[in-house]
Structure 1
Amino acid sequence: MKKKLTAEEEKQRNIRWIRALFLVYLLIVIKLIIFKYPMDQLRAIAATWRKDVILEGLDTANFTPFKTIRMYIDYAYMLNSFENLVGNILVFVPFGFLLPYVWKKAGSFWVMLLNAVIFVLGIEVFQLFSAFGAFDVDDIILNCLGAVWGYLFYLIVEAIRRKRNRKQKQKDKQTGTGQRNKIL
C-alpha cells in the first residue's frame, strides 16, 4: 500500500513536476524558434557560416518597433500573418504562467518580465549571429506580451486557489476537521 504524502511532500512533488514541465516547454520553444528547419538544412547553414552572416543579419534585421506588427495587421487576411502575430504571443503564455511556480522570486511581475526579455532577447541575438532566423524587435514585443498574458493567468489561478484555501480553512474551523486531521 502506498504511503500517503504529507501536504509538504505533495507540494514538493508538484514543484518538481512543474519544473520538469517548464524545462520541457523551454526545450520545445528553442526547437520551434531556433531549430525549426530540418537538421540537414541546419547543418548546411552552420557549415557555410562566416563573419559576413552577421552583417547580412544586421541588414535584414528589424530594429523598428511595431514595423512587423503593422505589416501583420495590414495583411491579416493572409493566414501566415495571423499565425505569426498570434503564434508569437501564444508561444510565451506558458513562460509567464509557469515561471512564478518554478522560481518564487518570479512571482513579482517585473522579475518575470525581465526573465522573459532576457530569454527572448537571447533567442533573437542568437538568430542574428547564427543565420538560424532573423532578428526582429517585434518578436521581442509579442513574445513578452505573451509572457505578460501568462502572468495575468497565473495571478487569476492563484487568486482562485487562495480563495478556495480560505474557504476550506473556514470550513475546517467550523467542523473541527482541521485540528483532528493534524492530530491523526
Structure 2
Amino acid sequence: MGWVVILLIYLYLLTKLILFKGGAVDVGLVWDRLTAFLHQPDLIHTRTVNLTPFQEIKRDWHSLSLHRPRTAIHLAGNIVAFIPFGILIAGMVRASIFTGINVLFLSFLLSLGYEATQLLTGIGIFDVDDLMLNTLGGMIGYLVYSVPLVLYRMLTGGKARVAAKRYVKERHV
C-alpha cells in the first residue's frame, strides 16, 4: 500500500513538472486544450515536434557550458525525473527475470503518455529524445533498486539460508 501512495504522489509531482513546468496543476486546461484539438484536428500542424532521434540531445550536448546551465538541466532532468519511477516500479513488481523489461516498458509508456499529451494539447513539445531520456531514467532507477539487492543476496544468501535452516531445525527438535 505504501508503494502505491508514494507512486501516486510521485506521478502528481511529475505531471506538475512536465506538463505544467512546476506551476499549478490545472486539469481543466488540459481538458480544454484536448477538446479544442478534437474539434480542430488540423491544430496538430501548429505543434512543435522533434521526431529525429538524438537531434536535441546532440544540440544540447554541443552547447553545454557553465554559461548555459539550462541545457545540462534539460539533459539530466529528463533522466533524473524518471529515476524514482524505475525505483518504485521495481519495488512494487515481484522480483522476477521480467522486472527490468516491465520497468523499461512502463517507463516508455509513461513518457509516451506525457509526450502525446503535450502533442495533442500544445502544452510543451513532443520530443522523441525526451522519450529516450525518460526511459533511460526509469532503467537507471531499476538498476539503483535492483543491483544493491542482488549484491546483498549474493553476499549474504548462503549464510542467511544456513542460519534459517539451522533455526528451523532447532525449533522442531
TM-score band, normalised by shorter chain: 0.7 to 0.9
Q: Which one of the candidate residues 79, 86, 99 is aligned to 1:89?
A: 79
Percent of aligned positions that are identical = 29
Q: Which residue of 2 aligns with 1:169?
A: 161
Q: Which one of the candidate residues 108, 114, 128 is aligned to 1:117?
A: 108
CA RMSD of superposed structures (Å): 2.7
Residues 93/129 of structure 1: CA separation in 2 closer, same or farther (3 Å cut): same
Determine if the alignment matches structure 1 residue 21 to structure 2 residue 6: yes
Deviation (angstroms), 1:166: 4.1
Aligned residues: 163
Q: Which one of the candidate residues 63, 66, 70 is aligned to 1:75?
A: 63
* Kept after mapping to 2: 8 A contact 1:100/1:106: no
Instruction: Work out the CA distance in 2 between the residues paired with 1:81 and 1:119.
Output: 23
Structure-to-structure mapping, 1:115-154, within 5 angstroms: 115-154=106-145
* Kept after mapping to 1: 8 A contact 2:16/2:24: no
Structure 2: 5+ residue runs without aligned partners? none
Residues 106/76 of structure 1: CA separation in 2 closer, same or farther (3 Å cut): farther
Determine if the alignment matches structure 1 residue 35 to structure 2 residue 20: yes
SS at 2:20 equivalent = coil
Q: Which residue of 1 aligns with 2:99?
A: 108
* Kept after mapping to 2: 8 A contact 1:95/1:150: yes
Instruction: Work out the CA distance in 1 between the residues paired with 2:64 and 2:77.
Output: 13
Residues 156/81 of structure 1: CA separation in 2 closer, same or farther (3 Å cut): same
Structure 1: 5+ residue runs without aligned partners? 1-15
Instruction: Work out the CA distance in 2 between the residues paired with 1:45 and 1:172.
Output: 55
1:102-124 deviations in Å (ceiling 9; x for gaps) = 23379532222111111111110
Deviation (angstroms), 1:179: 5.1
The normalised TM-score by structure 2 is 0.79
SS at 1:133 equivalent = coil
Instruction: Work out the CA distance in 1 between the residues paired with 2:69 and 2:124.
Output: 20
Deviation (angstroms), 1:73: 0.3
Deviation (angstroms), 1:88: 0.4
Residues 67/22 of structure 1: CA separation in 2 closer, same or farther (3 Å cut): same
